[in-house]
Structure 1
Amino acid sequence: MPVRIRPAVAALPAYKPGRPAPTGAAGPAYKLSSNENPYPPLPGVLAATEAAVAGMNRYPDLANTAMAAAVGARLGVAPECLAFGTGSVAVLYHLLAAVCEPGDEVVFAWRSFEAYPIAVQITGATPVPVPLGPGAVHDLEALRAAITPATRVVMLCTPNNPTGPAIAHDELEHFLDAVPEHVLVMVDEAYVEFVDDPAAVRGLEALQGRPQVAVLRTFSKAYGLAGFRVGYCVAEPALAAAVRAVSLPFGISVAAQAAVLASLDAEPALRERVDALVRARAGLRDGLRGLGFDVPAAQGNFVWLPSGPLTAAHGEAFAAGGVVVRPYAAGEPGDGVRITVGEDAANARVLELAAGLPRP
């Protein structure tokens, strides 16, 4: 008799990573499918990691002590309010594992981060997707209406991946006031460094005085440490402790911890790079709109092309032209293509190829 696989695991949808840069295209090829930072490591990071790997024969610091102190000082929160993992997606898994069990429900907008329904189903809880509102934004009223006595968590992605808009802070405050106190509200701010809308959610501010709120952040995007996988949550101490309790021991490598500390010390260079990417994002968004595409407000390091039934064809057209993007083709009205903001040549190539695309 074969080993029994849990039904919840056997039924999981597959997570689809961004495809690598296409081969065989005439001219340069660009990977714009994974929301990666196109810049190399920040100043000082390579030297710090090279020094750290000399001690690879030793286990990393289980408590992430230096990293927690540095991140806590940067954010103005106590280290005991932090829990780290291998990317914010791992922290998401740990957070759900700490609070969910079979019979619980987890509410989230859809389309949103692809890992959400996977993470929910692993716990045995039931995913409750709620369609996005006009403009590809979170419909907070519909999310609130979806809360039932079985709801354990509501997940909010702001800016929303893959569509781009951020939730307004005042709307989040009203939403939190209406959510039962026992329901955890997870505010996923993986792209917070790229937000330039002053009205957008301020996750750490929403956390103040609300023990039901947890904020997720990452070093993968703006800080360019995607290959080292470091993310964290900010939560009230008891919840953060629960997340740490279910986390994989020694999950953050010695090199990754060193990279985070060095990256935090390179704040001026970080800001310059983020500002450049935000400017490039505006150019890409405006260029696509000028071609007649209804691109939503973009607050991450990517833009969204609402391609509808032409999603797969658009994705293949970009790939044939040397640019691999991330098509979301599920046969749903909200299908579209996510395009990461890349180097200037890549962004120019996107607009060149988009000019020849059929319109949905």
Structure 2
Amino acid sequence: MTVRLRPTLTTLPAYVPGRSVPGAIKLASNETSLGPLPHVVRRITEVAGEANRYPDSFATELGSALAARFGVDPTQVVVGCGSVSLCQQLVLATAGEGDEVLFAWRSFEAYPIITTIDGATGVKVPLREDVHDLTAMAEAITDRTRLVFVCNPNNPTGTAVREAELRAFLDRVPPQVVIVLDEAYREYVIDPEVVDATTLLADYPNLIVLRTFSKAYGLAGLRVGYGIAADATLSNAVRQTQVPFAVTQIAQAAALACLEPPAEKELRQRVEDVTVERIRVTDELRAIGYAVPDSQANFVWLGNGPAEQGGIDALAFSTGCEDRGVIVRAFADSGVRVTVGLREENDAFLAAARALRARPVPADHQTDDTPDGF
């Protein structure tokens, strides 16, 4: 007997994580090259012995601490198994068959996957010069649109939209459409014109801001993120779609420790080190001859295109890097994302980039149409 599965699964792109190759430098997954913050490691060790107990299913203590930090009511805060889980919960809470979920493309790989799983229709709006085209996104909203994702800074390009343009877009979105500002890389933003979206909550009741402890805080392996909604009705709906006990006790304790003063001091230094390296890597790549957009995240982007215009062939470039002991993330149809790691890791990548720039890519090289993961 053959079991009956949903037809959607036959066309659903597979989740493909960034690869790890023994002995190679991994710059493919936007992780911090360092472990969790030292203060947080001590807290993890302290609570590990309590793993026999179920966690607080709604992470009440962590939610209250986040509410105090951002000056909102605890009912506006929802904690999830990484911000990607909250993305999926938001789709479940707002959209179904016949509804539309709108996002830029290329952007975070999870958006079309979670939309398709839920039975809704994903609407992709092309980037304009590697940045969200918010004017085109506003024009693409229809009476079927239920949810709009804006990834800022954008993954995988690292680009960010500034406050004036973002506010103009938010003003055009109908009040019944939920807007998700996905700020997974907010800690790395140094451009003063890129607004902290939590400051916009009072002005836009249909807005929810997502953050994560996976990136700057170094807790990718523990899976904990959070959302802050302008309206508690929305955060409560997200809680209703959550799997019970989704965030482990150790993850909650680690996230709480991240918010304490010793960890905050450690975080500031790490973020500064990454942003300094990001600027150095960008400048050197441009000096070599690559076209690299300004990044506000912990990675840089090299787009597909003619070599004389600074472009690359994503698959050829990523293969060339791997041959030289560096793993980067290739998106066959659009470009390569490279995490900013430690200085010595970045130097190894830059050496590979120099060697590949000196070696022309064959004009007849064919790209692979294999679906990209995230």
Same fold (TM over 0.5): yes
Whether 1:289 and 2:286 are equivalent positions in the alignment is: yes
Paired residue secondary structure (1:338): strand
Contact 1:166 1:201 survives alignment (8 Å)? no
Compute the displacement of 1:126 (Å): 0.3
Q: Which residue of structure 1 lines up, in the alignment, with residue 299 of structure 2?
A: 302
**More deviation in 106-115 or 209-218?**
209-218
Q: Which residue of structure 2 lines up, in the alignment, with residue 14 of structure 1?
A: 14
Q: Which residue of structure 2 lines up, in the alignment, with residue 5 of structure 1?
A: 5
Give the whole-Å Cα distance in 2 for the aligned partners of 1:52 and 1:67.
Answer: 15
Give the whole-Å Cα distance in 2 for the aligned partners of 1:142 and 1:82.
Answer: 30
Please show how residues 10-89 of structure 1 align to structure 2 within 5 Å.
10-23=10-23, 29-89=24-84
Structure 2 unmatched ranges of 5 or more = 306-311, 362-374
Residue type of the alignment partner of 2:304: S
Give the whole-Å Cα distance in 2 for the aligned partners of 1:151 and 1:354.
Answer: 42
Picking from 212, 217, 226, the partner of 1:218 is 212
Please show how residues 58-207 of structure 1 align to structure 2 within 5 Å.
58-134=53-129, 136-207=130-201
Give the whole-Å Cα distance in 2 for the aligned partners of 1:47 and 1:275.
Answer: 23
Q: Which residue of structure 1 lines up, in the alignment, with residue 232 of structure 2?
A: 237
Q: Which residue of structure 1 lines up, in the alignment, with residue 371 of structure 2?
A: none
Q: Which residue of structure 1 lines up, in the alignment, with residue 342 of structure 2?
A: 343
1:137-160: per-residue Cα shift (whole Å, max 9, x none)?
A: 000111111111111111100000
Give the whole-Å Cα distance in 2 for the aligned partners of 1:245 and 1:53.
Answer: 28
Compute the displacement of 1:55 (Å): 1.1
Residue type of the alignment partner of 1:325: V
Q: Which residue of structure 2 lines up, in the alignment, with residue 269 of structure 1?
A: 266
Paired residue secondary structure (1:47): helix
Give the whole-Å Cα distance in 2 for the aligned partners of 1:344 and 1:295.
Answer: 19
Give the whole-Å Cα distance in 2 for the aligned partners of 1:106 and 1:172.
Answer: 18
How many residues align? The count is 350
Structure 1 unmatched ranges of 5 or more = 24-28
Compute the displacement of 1:22 (Å): 4.9
Compute the displacement of 1:203 (Å): 0.8
Paired residue secondary structure (2:356): coil
Give the whole-Å Cα distance in 1 for the aligned partners of 2:276 and 2:42.
Answer: 29
Give the whole-Å Cα distance in 1 for the aligned partners of 2:10 and 2:250.
Answer: 34
Residue type of the alignment partner of 1:299: Q
Contact 1:228 1:256 survives alignment (8 Å)? yes
Contact 1:32 1:324 survives alignment (8 Å)? yes
Residue type of the alignment partner of 2:14: A
Task: Give the alignment's Cα RMSD to 1 decimal.
Answer: 1.3
1:234-280: per-residue Cα shift (whole Å, max 9, x none)?
A: 11211000101110111111111111111111101101110110001
Give the whole-Å Cα distance in 2 for the aligned partners of 1:280 and 1:270.
Answer: 15
Residue type of the alignment partner of 1:119: I
Give the whole-Å Cα distance in 2 for the aligned partners of 1:180 and 1:258.
Answer: 38
Compute the displacement of 1:216 (Å): 0.8
Compute the displacement of 1:201 (Å): 3.0
Q: Normalized against structure 1, the TM-score is what?
A: 0.95
1:274-328: per-residue Cα shift (whole Å, max 9, x none)?
A: 0110001000111111111110010000000113461100000111111100000
What is the percent sequence identity of the aligned residues? 48
Give the whole-Å Cα distance in 2 for the aligned partners of 1:307 and 1:42.
Answer: 36
Whether 1:318 and 2:321 are equivalent positions in the alignment is: yes
1:105-162: per-residue Cα shift (whole Å, max 9, x none)?
A: 111100000111001111111000011002x000011111111111111110000000
1:161-213: per-residue Cα shift (whole Å, max 9, x none)?
A: 00011111111111011111111111100000000001113211222231211
Compute the displacement of 1:44 (Å): 2.0
